[in-house]
Structure 1
Amino acid sequence: MPFLHHAVTTLRIITKPSVVVPNLTVRSVANINFKKLRDAGYEGVVIDRDNCLTKPRQDDLVPSLKDAWADCHKAFGPDRILIVSNSAGTSKDASFLQAEALTRNLGAPVLLHEAPKPWVVKPILHYFADLPPLSAPSAAAQPKLEAEPATPRKPIPPRLLVIGDRISTDILLGSRLQGSFSIWTKKVWQEESFGVRVARLLEDGVLFGVTRWRVWRRKRRGLEPEVDTAQVFVKNEPVVEEPAESTWWNSIVSRVRGLLPKAT
C-alpha cells in the first residue's frame, strides 16, 4: 500500500499544485500566535511530532518550544490538541508505547491510525466529532427536554489548524481537511534518514516551483501580488538554534530553502 499512497499523493500534486502551498510559513511552533488563531474561530489543533514538537523518534518536547506549547494548551485545551504522527500511534509503534509516552510528556492525545498522513482525514474528524462544542454549556446547566424527532443533517466539519514540517504529509493533510488552516514549520531540529532528507529536498523544490508559477500567473493576468493576510497569526519569537553539523548535504538544503518564501 505505501506505493499506492505515494502514487496518489503525486497525482494529487500534479493535478492540483496549490495543495502543497501552506496557509502560513513560520520558523517553528514558537512563532505561532495560538490565541489569535483561536479568536479567529479555529476549534482544534492537529500537529506533527518529529521535527515539529520533538526531535526525531523522541518523546520529549524541544525545550525552546515550552512556552509556545503552553500557549497552545491555554488557547485550545488538551482535548482539542491532537498529535498525528506517521510513527507514534501507527503499526510502527509496538504496543503504542511511543503514543503513551508522548501523551504523558506532552499532555495531549495521540491519534492511533493505520493509513499514513495525509490519508487520515476520517479518524481525525471522528475524534473531534466526539468532543463537545466549545461554547456548549455544562450538562448540569442544561434543562432536560423531551426528545423530539429531528431531520438528520450533515455535520459541519470543525475548523482545524494543521501544523507540521513536511509538505507531502502535513500540508497535504491540511488541504484535505475542509476549512482547515495549514502551517508549515521550516525549522528542522535534527536531520533524519537519507531518504527523508531527499524527500524533504524534493518537497522544497516542488513548493518553490509552485509559488513561482503562481506569482507568474497573477502577473500575466495583470493582477496585484497576493497579500499575505496570515502574518497576523505570527509571533516574532527568536528560535533557539542548536549547533548543526556542517556537511555538503546541509549546505544544499540551506541553499534550496533560501529560495523559498521567507518565514516570519
Structure 2
Amino acid sequence: MWWTDLKAAIGQRFNLEGIASSVGILSKDKHMAIPHVSVPDIRYIDWAELKRRGFEGVVFDKDNTITVPYSLSLWAPLRSSIDHCKSLFGNNVAVFSNSAGLLEYDPDEKEAKALEDAIGIKVIRHRMKKPAGTAEEIERQFGCESLRLIMVGDRPFTDIVYGNRNGFLTVLTEPLSLAEEPLIVRQVRMLEAALVRRWSEQGLKPNSHSLIPNSVDCVKDSPLG
C-alpha cells in the first residue's frame, strides 16, 4: 500500500507521458495545446447551448477543475453548474483524471469510489495518463463518438492536448486554487500558460469543431447569466 501511495504522489507531480508529449507539441503540434474555449471556471459554460448543438456528454478533469488539488469534495460554488450539466446530459457526465480512476495509482479504485460518492459523478477507470491514449474507454462509457463529447480541464498540455487529439470540444478553465499545488507544478503551469498565450497571439488555433464552429457561442458573459 505504501508503495502504491508513493508512486501516486510522485506520478501526479511528474507526468512522464506528458513530458514526452510536450516534445512533440513544442516541435510541430503547438495548436493541439490551444483550447476551443477558455473560461474562468465552469459556471461560464452554457451547457444548454452545447446540448442544443448536439453534444451528448461532458468529461471533467478533477484537480483544480471541479475540486481543489487532492480534495474529494466538489468546489462548492460550482455545484449549481454541475447540477445543471447533469440535468441536461444525465448519466453522460464523468470525471477523467490522472489521479482518481487511473489504475496505476488507484488499483483498488478506492479513490475513484470515494470521489463518486462525494460528488455524485462517475469516475472513468483507465490505464493511461492524459494526454496519452485514445478516447476508446470514454466512448465506450458514453456510448457515442468523441466528436459529441466535451473535455473540460485546467491544463493545456494534458487535458486540452488529449481532448484535441481525440476530437473533443476542449474547454480550458483557470485553476481553482494554487495554494495546495507543489512548487514544481505551479512552475510548469506558468510555463504552459505563457506558451499557450504566445502561440495564441501568433494566431495559432485548434482545429475547428464541426458541431460548434464558433466556439465562443457556448460561453456566458457572467456566471449568473
TM-score normalised per structure 2: 0.81
Is 1:233 paired with 2:218?
yes
**Which of 150, 166, 174 is residue 177 of structure 1 equivalent to?**
166
Larger Rg: 1
Aligned to 1:81: 93
Q: Distance in 1 between matches of 2:25 and 2:138?
A: 20
Deviations 1:15-63 (A, max 9, x none): 1211111000000011111111011111111110101101111111111
Note closer, same or farther for the CA distance 1:4–1:185 as it changes in structure 2 (3 Å cut).
closer
**Which of 168, 189, 203 is residue 192 of structure 2 equivalent to?**
203
SS of the residue 1:115 aligns to: coil
Amino acid at match of 2:169: F
Q: Distance in 2 between matches of 1:72 and 1:188?
A: 19
Amino acid at match of 1:117: K
Q: Distance in 1 between matches of 2:115 and 2:17?
A: 29
2:60–2:94 Cα contact (<8 Å) kept: yes
| Pairing 1:30-45 to 2, within 5 Å after superposition | 30-45=43-58
1:108 CA displacement: 1.7
Amino acid at match of 2:152: I
Deviations 1:128-162 (A, max 9, x none): 2xx3x7xxxxxxxxxxxxxxxxxxxxxx5441100
Aligned to 2:156: 167
1:13–1:20 Cα contact (<8 Å) kept: no
| Number of positions where the alignment pairs a residue of Structure 1 with one of Structure 2 | 200
Amino acid at match of 1:68: S
Q: Distance in 2 between matches of 1:104 and 1:174?
A: 26
Aligned to 1:194: 183
1:26–1:185 Cα contact (<8 Å) kept: yes
Amino acid at match of 2:139: L
User: Which sections of structure 2, spanning at least 5 residues, go unmatched?
Assistant: 1-10, 205-212
Aligned to 2:139: 125
1:110 CA displacement: 0.6
1:203 CA displacement: 0.5
1:195 CA displacement: 1.6
Q: Distance in 2 between matches of 1:123 and 1:13?
A: 27
SS of the residue 2:192 aligns to: helix
1:95 CA displacement: 2.1
2:18–2:158 Cα contact (<8 Å) kept: no
2:153–2:173 Cα contact (<8 Å) kept: yes
Note closer, same or farther for the CA distance 1:187–1:12 as it changes in structure 2 (3 Å cut).
closer
Q: Distance in 1 between matches of 2:112 and 2:39?
A: 26
